[in-house]
Amino acid sequence: MHHFQYKNEELYCEDLPLRKLAEEVGTPCYVYSHSTLHHHFSVFDQSFASIPHLTCYSVKANSNLALLKLFASLGGGVDIVSGGELFRARKAGIPPERIVYSGVGKTVDEIDFALKEGILMFNIESTEELKAINSRAGVLGCRARVALRVNPDVDPKTHPYISTGMKKSKFGIAADSALQAYDEARSLDHIEIMGVDCHIGSQLTEISPFVDALRRLRALIDQLNAMGISIRYLDLGGGLGIPYDQEAPPHPRDYAQAILQELQGLSCTLIFEPGRVIVGNAGVLVTRVLYTKKTEMKNFVIVDAGMNDLIRPSLYGSYHQIQPIQKRTAETQVVDVVGPICESGDFLAHDRALPVVGGGDLLAVMSAGAYGFTMSSNYNSRPRAVEVLVKGDRYHIIRKRESWEDMVRLEAIPDIF
Ligand code: LLP
């Protein structure tokens, strides 16, 4: 469920007409619905109410401080993958004991920062990383709490760029070397083994790969117990998909039920790292039509948001629904919706039937709350868009639009010319 609905042929976010918002803050702008964020987080989290668990929202999906603060207030933790994300999480008030840290390339500075903050655990992705963390914990005179990220070798049946749990993937430690890696971990003085972790991919629309991965991890936990290594946390990662178009991913409650069924006899605290399912359909990108142009082959709608604002269509061929903010006509036309960037790959939609639009009209690119703003860039020296949080009929600017001055602030011209 989300709170972007038409009233009298006008698209609203909650009780605020998006047209009014766009007139006041300009375009392109990212708009998030507070009620939707709240609802999505609560539904996910409460689906696991019957077991000890921690919902660690995956910051990479949308890392705005205001959103992190909201999830913290709902009892959430976070999954981070960089020092920068840890900095944000702490700034937003996420307690360190609710932070897990994944990623294949943690640097010494990042490891030290996380150790000093006292996060719940590192999800370790290689034995070299394990040794590096052990040695930094030694230098800092503490013990690092860890889980090993195990690659369960299941096919998540999603886009290859966002599938992470197969043998050829760079992520995690191969299932058949995991026992050896745990054995090594327990021999290290500054490592405390806390758990087992996996994350098999993103935008999964079926439950079975999650269940397969869980079964493999349970078997591993049994083997570890038999070796005298006790496991307190089982982290199942994120990955639950959302409807962008015609997909019918499982509802979080069905996902939870399938997981809960597999947990009999297990006494771990479960950790989940959902990103997209919480924020994806809680946000839209509002853009204005600049021009329309007809060529022999195509009808182009040229808008003021480009691949620098939302790269998913260009990078993955992803589908995002596009809706007019004011419904004026039922007449449709098949168009390419393209941005102002100097790349042929700069498009938001190809061959899409849209109501006929003209210069000045506003469009909403739907399902843009996850991996939208966070993957945006300044390519073509385009300032990044403003981000707005709507609650009821009011809005709050949660990130200002960048200025041209902002874009050059960190640059310097050396005195050599
Ligand atoms: N945990 C880990 C370790 C991850 O790598 C990810 C996502 C998540 C959790 C959250 O996954 P989610 O629940 O959002 O599916 N940029 C791509 C998605 C990349 C996902 C990367 N990892 C996209 O726009 O589709």
Per-residue pLDDT of the chain (417 residues; tens, 9 = 90+): 679 999 999 999 999 999 999 999 999 999 999 999 999 999 999 999 999 999 999 999 999 999 999 999 999 999 999 999 999 999 999 999 999 999 999 999 999 999 999 999 999 999 999 999 999 999 999 999 999 999 988 887 777 666 666 677 888 899 889 999 999 999 999 999 999 999 999 999 999 999 999 999 999 999 999 999 999 999 999 999 999 999 999 999 999 999 999 999 999 999 999 999 999 999 999 999 999 999 999 999 999 999 999 999 999 999 999 999 999 999 999 999 999 999 999 999 999 999 999 999 999 999 999 999 999 999 999 999 999 999 999 999 999 999 999 999 999 999 999
Q: Do 130 and 263 reside in the same domain of the chain? A: yes
Minimum CA distance residue for ligand 1 atom 16? 371
Q: Do 231 and 289 reside in the same domain of the chain? A: no
Separation in Å, CA 321 to CA 259, 278, 356, 365: 31, 18, 15, 6
Q: Do 159 and 237 reside in the same domain of the chain? A: yes
Q: Which pLDDT belongs to residue 1?
A: 67
Q: Do 210 and 115 reside in the same domain of the chain? A: yes
Q: Do 367 and 219 reside in the same domain of the chain? A: no
Q: Do 295 and 343 reside in the same domain of the chain? A: yes
Q: Do 253 and 199 reside in the same domain of the chain? A: yes
E-assigned strand segments in 64-156: 77-80, 99-101, 121-124, 144-151
Separation of CA 367 and ligand 1 centre (Å):
15
Q: Is residue 144 part of a domain?
A: yes
CB atoms within 10 A of CB 366: 22
Separation of CA 58 and ligand 1 centre (Å):
7
Q: Which pLDDT belongs to residue 155?
A: 80
Q: Model pTM greater than 0.85?
A: yes
Q: Residue 251: which of 22, 53, 46 has the closest Cα?
A: 46
Q: Are 273 and 64 in contact (CB under 8 A)?
A: no
13 as an active site residue: the answer is no
Q: Which pLDDT belongs to residue 135?
A: 98
- Residues with Cβ within 8 Å of 387's Cβ and at least 6 positions away in sequence, in order, are 29, 30, 32, 64, 373, 397, 398, 399
Question: Is residue 210 helix, strand or coil?
Answer: helix
Separation of CA 171 and ligand 1 centre (Å):
12
Q: Which pLDDT belongs to residue 2?
A: 78
DSSP letters for 46-89 = HTTTTS-EEEEEEGGG---HHHHHHHHHTT-EEEE-SHHHHHHH
Minimum CA distance residue for ligand 1 atom 9? 238
Q: Is residue 42 part of a domain?
A: no
Q: Do 239 and 319 reside in the same domain of the chain? A: no
Q: Is residue 345 part of a domain?
A: yes
Q: Do 267 and 340 reside in the same domain of the chain? A: no
- Which of 272, 291, 323 is the C-terminal boundary of a domain? 272
- Which of 212, 246, 272 is the C-terminal boundary of a domain? 272
Q: Do 260 and 194 reside in the same domain of the chain? A: yes
Q: Is residue 414 part of a domain?
A: no
| Residue 27 to residue 304: CA distance in whole angstroms | 7
> The CATH number of the domain where 321 resides is what?
2.40.37.10
- Residue 190: phi, psi to the nearest 5? -110, 25
Q: Where are the alpha helices (DSSP H) in 245-323?
A: 252-261, 276-279, 312-316
Minimum CA distance residue for ligand 1 atom 24? 371
Q: Is residue 57 part of a domain?
A: no
Q: Do 267 and 287 reside in the same domain of the chain? A: no
Q: Which pLDDT belongs to residue 9?
A: 96
Report the number of distinct structural domains present in the chain: 2
Q: Is residue 71 part of a domain?
A: no
Q: Do 235 and 137 reside in the same domain of the chain? A: yes
Q: Which pLDDT belongs to residue 179?
A: 95
> The CATH number of the domain where 110 resides is what?
3.20.20.10
| Residue 70 to residue 62: CA distance in whole angstroms | 12
The DSSP 8-state label assigned to residue 379 in this structure reads G
Separation of CA 311 and ligand 1 centre (Å):
15
CB atoms within 10 A of CB 152: 23
Q: Which pLDDT belongs to residue 162?
A: 65
Q: Which residue do the tokens 């691949």 mark?
A: 307
Q: Is residue 97 part of a domain?
A: no
203 Cβ closer than 6 Å to some ligand 1 atom: yes
Q: Which residue among the candidates 13, 142, 198, 342 is catalytic per the annotation?
A: 342
- Which of 272, 297, 318 is the C-terminal boundary of a domain? 272
Burial of 281 (0-12, 13-18, 19+ CB in 10 A): buried
* Token output for 198: 């996996």
Q: Is residue 46 part of a domain?
A: no
Atom of ligand 1 nearest to the CA of 274: 13
| Residue 53 to residue 222: CA distance in whole angstroms | 20
What count of residues does the chain have?
Answer: 417
| Residue 245 to residue 335: CA distance in whole angstroms | 17
Query: By residue range, what is the domain housing residue 304?
Result: 4-32+280-408
Q: Residue 205: which of 250, 174, 168, 169 has the closest Cα?
A: 250
